[in-house]
Amino acid sequence: MQQRISLITRFGVDLILISVAFVLAYLIRYVLQWGADVLEQNQVPLGDYLPIMLGYSAIFFVVLQFKGFYRNSRGTTLLDELGIVFSTSLVTVSTMIVLVFISQPLTRSRLMFVYLVPLTVLLLTSERAIIRWIRRILWTRGIGTRNLVIVGATDAATRLMQTIVENPNLGYRLVGYVDDELRFSEWIMPVRYRNGDTVPHLGSSSALPELIAKHHLNEVIIALPAIMHETINEVMGQARQHKLEYTFVPDLFELRLDALTLQEINGIPLIGLKDNSLVGWNYIVKRLVDVLLALLLLSIFAVPMLIIALIVKLSSPGSIIVRQIRIGKEGRPFTFYKFRSMYRDAEARLAELEQHNETSGPTFKMKNDPRVTNIGRFMRHASIDELPQLFNILLGHMSFVGPRPGLPREVDKYEAWHFRRLEVTPGLSGLWQVSGRSTLPFEEMVKLDIYYAEHWSLWLDLKIIVRTLPAVIRGDGAY
């Protein structure tokens, strides 16, 4: 009932905002007369546009519903919603232009329909941003969150749990997980809450009815292998019996469904995967974007980089730019540039500090590293020390988005599956940076890098770039 009321409220608010966008477009065209003057004989009363406004609103809602805008997906980002609203506006306006100028040619202003697109996008996206802001505040305070249990401790479940505990803005309170097969738990690193406590194992799936009452559960996510179909059916039955929402992670979760190809040979269906690797035109487009964006940013940051160089030089003895050998795509070494943020004897002191390493795997991270200078600490927090890597991007050694390039001593310690992160060009930012940066265990960072390599698209790159700026401003995990 609450979801139905919430959905009706959203419909009502969106209808009002679309109507406001229509009225504003009318005022801009006929009162302010932007774009071109309107002759007196061509003036059209607002009332004459009422049928068009109703038709525009109806088509807009139909397209939004078709695109799944009103489905309750907590993983949908504001950028995703912006894309849906923008594409819907284009489709709706195009449809209305055709209908209007077929039925009433030359009697309605075409410029008004042009104004409708940015106005509708601005109002609806602003509404979603405000709602997300309010929800984030409430959810981070534990208000309105949904109590969740995950069934299974598979690799998929682990990634899901890690995402949920790292993103309180999803609105879930992860109570714990249940699993009949403890061997799954032995294969994986324990997931921890933000306060460091381990996400608890609450027993087997048979304990689910007791957990529902004890923790007032709202939802269950099933992440079990398909071969455990009996257990999956039992859990689904228990969820239905207690009127609990449930979803499950299919075994095909690793595949991009939009990358599947279907064909048939004599009635036998065959499933294949489209080649989405960064070769051919994919590489050319990504490289072109990298070069143009790097040139733009270098022109903007040229003077600030000179000032930073002077401050680094005056702050402590040593070079301004640190040159390191890093391992790039397909294991090729290259010279990596960054502003010096440590004292010049940093490498010599590494051995004595290795016992204080605060991350897992072959990488070394230490929150209060004594080798970092005072100005270097600020530069790292704001990611200013990374600016010289714009030259690495211009030289083709790096991209704006991709896995972070490792040091040779780190790569030497890689396990066999870790090398998959070297299949793509390393990047200035990546999924790791918008998902916790140095707070992420090395294993999780590698999984994110592999996910990026397998799911690359220009749209994914754009989303990562847009999400990087807030992460840098907040300084999440930067040290």
| CATH number where 229 lies | 3.40.50.720
Among 113, 140, 167, the domain-final residue is 140
Do 241 and 305 sit in the same domain of this protein?
A: no
Could you list the residue range(s) of the whole structural domain that residue 170 is in?
A: 146-254
The predicted pLDDT at position 104 comes to 65
The predicted pLDDT at position 374 comes to 87
Number of domains in the chain: 3
Quickly state the pLDDT bin for 303 (edges 50, 70, 90).
Answer: very high
Structure confidence by residue, pLDDT tens digits, 230-279: 788 888 888 888 888 888 876 654 445 455 566 656 556 655 555 555 55
Average pLDDT over residues 12-23: 88
Least confident of 308-317, 413-422, 431-440: 431-440
Q: Is residue 345 part of a domain?
A: yes
DSSP assignment letter at 217: -
- 279 vs 176, more confident: 176
Do 63 and 198 sit in the same domain of this protein?
A: no
From the CB of residue 469, how many other CB atoms can be counted at a distance below 10 Å? 12
Among 120, 140, 160, the domain-final residue is 140
Do 436 and 373 sit in the same domain of this protein?
A: yes
End-to-end CA distance of the chain: 47
Do 98 and 239 sit in the same domain of this protein?
A: no
| CA gap 222, 331 in Å, rounded | 38
SS3 state at 203? coil
> Using only C-alpha atoms, what is the Rg of the chain?
27
Quickly state the pLDDT bin for 439 (edges 50, 70, 90).
Answer: low
pTM: 0.57
Among 91, 113, 140, the domain-final residue is 140
Q: Return phi, psi of residue 192, to 5°.
A: -120, 145
Do 132 and 223 sit in the same domain of this protein?
A: no
pLDDT at 169 over 90: no
Q: Is residue 380 part of a domain?
A: yes
The predicted pLDDT at position 186 comes to 45
